[in-house]
Each structure stands twice: as C-alpha cells, then as structure tokens.
C-alpha cells in the first residue's frame, strides 16, 4: 500500500492506542492463570495479534468484544504446538521461554527480518537449563526449562530478560537472572515486573540480579494503558493526545523530555497532553533506553534549527529494518540532511523539507515518522509500503486524517 500525503495542518484530540508492550505481557500472564481474565485493549496491531495467535495455538481461548478481550486458560496445555510469531520480536522472545517452561515440544516460526534478529544468547542460556534446540529457523525446542541461576547480557535485548521473567514463575524453586551491564532498555524490564505484580507474581531486584520464585498467576480484570511509543508520533504532530499516564513505567514517556530539550512547549490539561513545536533547536539525545523513539525524534530534528546528535543507538541496526540507515534515508529523501555514525545519526536541521518519496522499508516506525515529517514538507510525500503501520498501530492513518491530515491510498 502506497500513501500520498498532501501538505496540511493538524488539530484536535486523539486517544493513544493501548501499549503494545503491556498488552503482550498481559495476554501471556492471563493465559498462565487458572481462571478467566478480561483485558481492555482499545486498539490492536499485528504484533499483539501474533501473541494472541500463539496463545490460541496452546489451547488458550481468546475472544474479543470491541475493546474487551476475554482470556480463558486451557485445563491442560498441549504436549506439542506450532506457533507463528509473525514479525514480532517480542512474541518470539517471550513465547520461547514460556513454552519451554511448560514442557511443550514446540516449533516457533516467523517472517520478515525476525529470523535474522538476535536469539542465540537466550537460547544458549536456556540450553544450560534443560532445553534442546539447534538454533536454526524455524526454532524447534524440546525438554522442560528448569529454574536456577541465569546470566544474560544486558546490551543485546531486554526482551531476553522479560521472556525469562514470564517463564520462571512456572519452574520449581527460586530462580535468579543476573543481567550483565550495561543494561539497555531497562524500562521495558520494569514494565514486565509491573505487569507480573498485577498477576500476583512478585519479583525482587538487587543490583543487577532479578529473583523470582515459583508462583501461581492470578486472574482479574485489567486495562492496557496508553502506548507512549506510538503516542510519540501523535505528540510530534502537535495535537492533543489522551489516555497517557505520565507516571508510567514505559521508558518512552521520555519523549516529553526529549521534545522539551528541543525547545518544545508542553501543555497538560483535562487529561490530555499537547506539544507546541513551532520553535525548535537541535539537541543531543542518548538513545540507549529509548531506541524506538529515534526515527520520530529525527523527523522532528529535521526542521529544528542547528544540529542534532543521536548516540548510543547501535541496536537500531537489528530492528525491523536497519533503523539507522533507513531513518537517514527517509530524512534525506524528503530533502533533509542526515548522516550515519557508528552508533547513531547526526541531523542538520532546515527550515522546511521539500517532500518526495519514502521507502517504508517494511518498518512501521519509518512509515509513521515520514508522516510526521510530511507536515514540514512544501510538497506532497509518497510513502511506499505504508501498510507496515499495521504491525503496531493499524489505525494510524485513520487517526491522522481525523485530525485534519490529507492522506490517501494511491
């Protein structure tokens, strides 16, 4: 799907979509409980649906009635299962330890760049705790994960730690996960421990060691809070955004701090947040804990006066696309000036962009960032492969147009 965006001015209010990170974790925890749970998820995505599909493959009944998802665990999990993780790294890295802790002989498949994204460090540690897997894709795991002492590098993917935290309450005894510094994207681990607590599973942290005991997951009624990662695009459009918790454990709430560092004015009233982006200057941004924000930050920086430097972002090369390369290409194809560094991006801001054609590169965050940049373009913007937004925010262009945007499928 190619989309053409004509220059326009946006205004109005929109609700942030449900947090993808929270929804993944809540669905898995609900599936591991003994009784039925309900989860309110106001907007879904392909990644959330991928996790739901994998859980259904394990015999979990998941029914949707509007925004309300009802999750009913099976009386017994199957001995064997085949799971399709789509293109969702979260789904793969969370479900892999979970099915292993359940002792399921499972095959996990994926698409797009997912088979090439890092998984070996997690698998190697699981192999030391009762699991067999040759590491080739699709992944076939057998055996039963055991508790004990785990050691995981903290600079590859926080999703490895989350997957183990979700699985180890199913294992006998007490388990420890030692995370070797530096620990990047730590806020995503905080989301995991927060959601586990809601489902009755307590974890403790001492320095870089997480401890969890064998526990029963409890059912209940839950709501997936608004997603700061996707709200970052809406906030960068300059409209009012509702449904966000400024006290959230989500690390991407730092988008407000980043935009403030650019000189943006932030207003909070009646439960909504709005950002005035009329007069911006360049800034230095450490992306170590906020890698998903880099493309949209660069879209904002492309017309901020002066130079912006993004650093500690090397892990972006292992996302749905090489996001350092594709973000630079997106900015430059619209008439901006961006350059790659080893671990980030340097942008020299311009007063406006010319517009042009952007390759979405199969990456939802590149597509939405191009839409943000289009508001500063003098001419139309064409985004090729715009369907990539379905991965995390399928209603993005619907919301964009409801705010006064002018986007149409070509």
Tokens of 165: 């935290």
Closest C-alpha among 47, 98, 52, 92 to residue 72: 52
Provide the 10 A C-beta neighbour count for residue 238.
18
Catalytic, 359? Answer: no
The residue behind tokens 């508790």 is 147
Cβ-count burial 270-306 (b if 16+ within 10 Å, e if not): eebbbbebeebebbebebbbbbbbbbbbbbbbbbbee
Tokens of 193: 């421990």
Provide the 10 A C-beta neighbour count for residue 81.
19
Closest C-alpha among 243, 237, 238 to residue 17: 243
Instruction: Give the C-alpha separation, 373 to 353, whole Å.
Output: 8
Would you tell me the crossing angle of helices 323-333 and 364-374 to the nearest 10 degrees?
30
Catalytic residue among 47, 227, 292, 359: 292
Instruction: Give the C-alpha separation, 63 to 58, whole Å.
Output: 15
Instruction: Give the C-alpha separation, 326 to 323, whole Å.
Output: 5
Provide the 10 A C-beta neighbour count for residue 339.
12
Which residues, at least 6 apart from 247, have a Cβ–Cβ distance to it below 8 Å?
none
How far is residue 137 from each of residues 7, 50, 116, 118, measured CA to CA in Å? 44, 17, 9, 12
Mode of pairing for the β-strands spanning 37-40 and 68-72: antiparallel
How far is residue 359 from each of residues 41, 55, 410, measured CA to CA in Å? 30, 33, 14
Tokens of 326: 């594709």
Are 335 and 355 in contact by the 8 Å Cβ rule? The answer is yes
Are 300 and 266 in contact by the 8 Å Cβ rule? The answer is no
Closest C-alpha among 296, 341, 288 to residue 315: 288
Where does residue 208 rank: exposed (0-12), middle (13-18), buried (19+ CB within 10 A)? middle
Q: Which residues are catalytic?
A: 292
């Amino acid at each position: 799907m190619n989309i053409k965006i004509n220059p326009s001015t946006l205004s109005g209010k929109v609700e942030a979509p449900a947090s993808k990170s929270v929804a993944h974790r809540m669905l898995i925890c609900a599936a591991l409980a003994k009784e039925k749970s309900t989860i309110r998820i106001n907007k879904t995505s392909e990644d959330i649906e991928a996790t739901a599909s994998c859980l259904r493959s394990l015999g979990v009944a998941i029914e949707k009635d509007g925004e309300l998802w009802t999750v009913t665990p099976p009386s017994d999990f199957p001995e064997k299962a085949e799971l399709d993780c789509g293109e969702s790294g979260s789904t793969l890295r969370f479900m892999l330890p979970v099915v292993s802790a359940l002792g399921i002989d499972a095959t996990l498949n994926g698409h797009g760049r997912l088979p090439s994204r890092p998984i070996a460090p997690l698998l190697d540690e699981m192999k030391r705790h009762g699991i067999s897997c040759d590491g080739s894709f699709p992944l076939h795991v057998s055996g039963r994960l055991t508790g004990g002492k785990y050691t995981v590098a903290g600079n590859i993917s926080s999703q490895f730690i989350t997957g183990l935290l979700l699985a180890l309450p199913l294992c006998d005894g007490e388990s420890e996960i030692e995370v070797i510094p530096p620990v990047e994207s730590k806020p995503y681990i905080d989301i995991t421990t927060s959601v586990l607590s809601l489902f009755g599973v307590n974890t403790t942290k001492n320095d870089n060691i997480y401890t969890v005991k064998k526990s029963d997951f409890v059912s209940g009624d839950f709501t997936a809070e608004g997603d700061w990662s996707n709200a970052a695009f809406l906030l960068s459009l300059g409209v009012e955004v509702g449904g966000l918790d400024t006290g959230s454990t989500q690390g991407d709430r730092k988008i407000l701090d980043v935009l403030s560092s650019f000189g943006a004015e932030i207003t909070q009233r009646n439960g909504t947040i709005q950002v005035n982006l009329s007069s911006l200057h360049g800034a230095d941004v450490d992306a170590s804990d906020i890698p998903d924000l880099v493309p949209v930050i660069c879209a904002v920086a492309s017309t901020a006066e002066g130079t912006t430097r993004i650093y500690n972002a090397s892990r972006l090369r292992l996302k749905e696309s090489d996001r350092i390369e594709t973000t630079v290409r997106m900015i430059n194809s619209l008439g901006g000036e961006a350059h790659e560094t080893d671990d980030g991006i340097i942008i020299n801001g311009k007063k406006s962009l010319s517009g042009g054609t952007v390759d979405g590169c199969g990456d939802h965050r590149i597509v939405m960032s191009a839409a943000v940049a289009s508001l500063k373009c003098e001419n139309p913007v064409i985004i090729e492969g715009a369907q990539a937004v379905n991965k995390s925010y399928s209603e993005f262009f619907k919301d964009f147009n409801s705010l006064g945007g002018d986007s149409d499928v070509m």
